[in-house]
Amino acid sequence: MAIDLTTLFAAQGPLAAAIPGYRARPSQLEMAESILAAIEHEGVAVLEAGTGTGKTVAYLVPALLGGGKVIISTGTKNLQDQLFHRDIPAVRKALKAPVSVALLKGRANYVCHHYLERAQSEARLPTREDAKYLRIIAKGVKGTPSGDRAEFPDVPENAAVWQHVTSTRENCLGQDCASYKECYVMAARKDALQADVVVVNHHLFFADIMLRDEGMAELLPACNTVILDEAHQLPETARLFFGKTVAAGQIMELARDAQGGGLAHAREAHDWAALTRTLEYAMRDARLVLPETGMRIAHAQLRKREELEAALRVVLVKLLDLKRALESQAERHEELEALMRRCVEIESGIEGWLGDWGPTSQEAIAAEENPAIRWVESFGVSFQLHLTPMSVAPLFRAQMLGEKRAWVFTSATLAIKEDFSHYLGEMGLDGLEGMRAQSWASPFDYANQALLYVPQNMPAPTAPEFTEAVVEAALPLIAAANRSGAGGTFMLFTTLRAMNRAHELLTDQLKRRGLDLPLLLQGEGSRTELLERFRRLGNAVLVASQSFWEGVDVKGDALKLVVIDKLPFAPPDDPVLSARIDAMKQQGRNPFMEFQLPHAAIVLKQGAGRLIRDEADRGVLMIGDTRLVEKPYGRRIWQALPPMRRTRDAADAERFLSGEIK
């Protein structure tokens, strides 16, 4: 049966009748037609849709009507919940589509009956507050059909108690668990297997790819269509999952669980406290070899490389002692057997980092052309060992070619002036048979709604006084945004160090200038909490880093000014980026123009997209980095931004904010 999209998306169509504030947009209809064509012909569509196009409805209509099984993957759990609880029900009702829909998250998002009972009986929680949260979860779990953490709003997302009442892939007892029949994870997977449309997030999507590659049971059902929303996030997420990581926290958690499991099921067999304590000591000794917190260092650049390798071999010895002890008692209880398997997996990860990346099917694809980069990341009392493929393109392309189905990639930021070459190359999509890339500009009137302001006489972005200069240039604009009533500001920084310094300066300067404005700082609460406060206050200044550059939607006068300190070039000392730059140079290519510049342009486009979220919005985007207008390559970056008016005159920006310039 032919699907009449024109009628469905018309101004008097069923979508308009069912969705409040719906507007018929030609670009939305064209996007839906492209997606339907991809579904019908099992093609690949890479679609950029500017803010306000209505891309969610554009892909939901063909997804719900196109037939077959559809997986929709989005960037965050918040967007997942929004799709499942709000967007899909509205569109399904409008279309009268008899499709079943399931929401599937990673297992850490579901309460585990086994570990909940264990937490209640062992009482090993770190604080009284966590004990209170445990009681809330234990009471609430009796009334939740899903066991989803989102069903417990009174327990903070970052509460330590969640680690004690959820399972991981490593410590799940599977079918040996006494609570297997009541398991929320299994129930969610069963629903997903039976549903027509399954809503997941990118982390779960890639986790399934990796689990399937390792020969384990398929986590997500086979499907006819995959729709990847917020697709600009995929290269980074793919790098995370196509690589391998061993975290010190994993080993500390293993030691904690092994002591508990050993005492519970084989108390007299071994000195479990001694076995786990020596493993923890070995991990701490390895951390002491590494440099200060917050460092990301390639293996070859480690000053104490031999000392670290020696310390890790001591960890392996202590890990082997624990593994043997667990192996000798594994038949006594399934939990001891699961703990032994965790030892084997961590042992393999450390050995892989110390030696070669093992020849699995994933890693063999690109061989020497796509080597794994060995690097280490240090934190306060912890660290992580990483093996990351230089490029995810051949790995992801191999996954796509594995089974014939439709693939749809969509986001507001995939191209630079309709040039998709950077994104296609990153994901291995270039040259694919049947691949089609299209772009639609935002329907908003940026020429009248927004102004791009780059201050004059700014120091170089590398200068010690640069952050002070950004704050100084922004203060008159912050004041102007509030002259005609409420008007809030986002100040977005490319590093946490600059963010914290700017917050210190603003705390002092707002007071000195008599600007009685609420000042919010990323980290003072969850992102959701901070955004709710920001919207409610209407005149706040929010100082944040790149975690607020995307997925943030503030409409109206609550946000009139967005300040971005500098062009978001990835740090050249990043181990993976450094290896890619060296490889491109050896090939006679220009890594700056081919990779670093387009990547920065797309990230900046995301940050700039926070400003105008509605047809009635109006505001100024200030970028403190003069390279945007003074360097020849800057033109390529600002041309990727929405078509705003531009100025370097502070007075123009102030008048625009205060409403004097229309």
What is the pLDDT, as a whole number, of residue 220? 67
Q: What is the CB neighbour count within 10 angstroms for residue 128?
A: 8
**Is the pLDDT confidence value at 1 over 70?**
no
| Average pLDDT value for the chain | 90
- Mean pLDDT calculated for residue range 14-42: 94
Helices and strands, number each (H, E), in the chain? 28, 18
Distance of alpha carbon 536 from the chain centroid: 26
The pLDDT value given to residue 221: 64
From 262-276, 289-303, 325-339, the region with the lowest mean pLDDT: 289-303
DSSP designation for 410: E
Please check whether residue 496 is in contact with residue 546, taking contact to mean a CB–CB distance below 8 angstroms: no
Residue 259, pLDDT score: 93
Q: Tell me the per-residue pLDDT of 265-275, one tens digit each, with 9 for 90 and over.
A: 999 999 999 99
Q: 73 versus 380: which is more confidently predicted? A: 73
Residues ≥6 apart with Cβ < 8 Å to 26? none
Per the CB < 8 A criterion, the answer to whether 325 and 273 are in contact is no
Mean pLDDT is lowest, of 5-19, 83-97, 115-129, 177-191, for 115-129
SS3 226: strand
Say what the pLDDT of residue 218 is: 64
CA distance 471 to 310: 47
In terms of C-beta density within 10 A (0-12 exposed, 13-18 middle, 19 or more buried), how is residue 126 classed?
exposed
100-114, 165-179, 249-263, 590-604: least confident range: 165-179
Higher-confidence residue of 367 and 450: namely 450
CB neighbour class for 52 (10 Å; exposed up to 12, middle 13-18, buried from 19): buried
369 pLDDT band, cuts 50/70/90, is low
Residue 40 confidence (pLDDT): 94
Q: Return the amino acid letter for 656.
A: F
Pairing of strands 244-247, 383-389: antiparallel
pLDDT interval class at 357 (50, 70, 90):
very low
- What CA–CA distance (Å, rounded) separates 415 from 640? 8
Q: What is the pLDDT of residue 604?
A: 94
Enter the tokens of residue 241: 């999952």
The owner of tokens 């945004």 is: 481
pLDDT at 475 over 50: yes
How many angstroms separate the CA atoms of 127 and 125, rounded? Answer: 6
Give the pLDDT of residue 355: 81
Q: Quick one: average pLDDT of 252-272?
A: 92
Of the candidates 230, 234, 595, 600, the residue with the CA atom closest to the CA atom of residue 422: 595
| Comparison of pLDDT for 237 and 399, the residue scoring more | 237
Mean pLDDT, residues 576-602: 91
- With cut-offs at 50, 70 and 90, classify the pLDDT of residue 359: very low
Backbone dihedral angles phi then psi of residue 378, each to the nearest 5 degrees: -110, 145
Closest CA to 172 of 352, 2, 335: 335
Locate 344 and state its tokens: 């084997």
Measured in whole angstroms, the distance separating CA 444 from the mean position of its chain's CA atoms is 27
pLDDT at position 168 is 84
Q: Please give the model's pTM, rounded to 2 decimal places.
A: 0.90
Spatial separation of the C-alpha atoms in residues 470 and 113, rounded to whole Å: 51
Beta strands 372-378 and 383-389 are antiparallel
* CB-based contacts of 523, cutoff 8 Å, min separation 6: none
pLDDT at 57: 96
Task: Fill in the amino acid letter for 315.
Answer: V
Q: Give the least confident one: 10-14, 110-114, 342-346, 656-660.
A: 656-660
The answer, yes or no, to whether residue 361 has pLDDT greater than 50, is: no
pLDDT digits (tens, 9 = 90+) for 191-240: 998 999 999 999 989 887 776 644 334 656 678 999 999 999 999 999 88
Matching residue, tokens 């994104």: 423
| Phi, psi (rounded to 5 degrees) for 500 | -65, -40
Higher pLDDT, 123 or 523: 523
Work out the average pLDDT over 516-520.
Answer: 94
Q: What is the DSSP string of 508-576?
A: HHHHHTT----EEETTSS-HHHHHHHHHHHSS-EEEE-GGGSSS----GGG--EEEE-S--PPPTT-HH
pLDDT, tens only, 409-421: 999 999 998 999 9
DSSP state of 623: E
3-state secondary structure 67-84: CCCEEEEECCHHHHHHHH
pLDDT in tens, 419-435: 999 999 999 999 888 89
Q: Is the pLDDT of residue 36 over 90?
A: yes
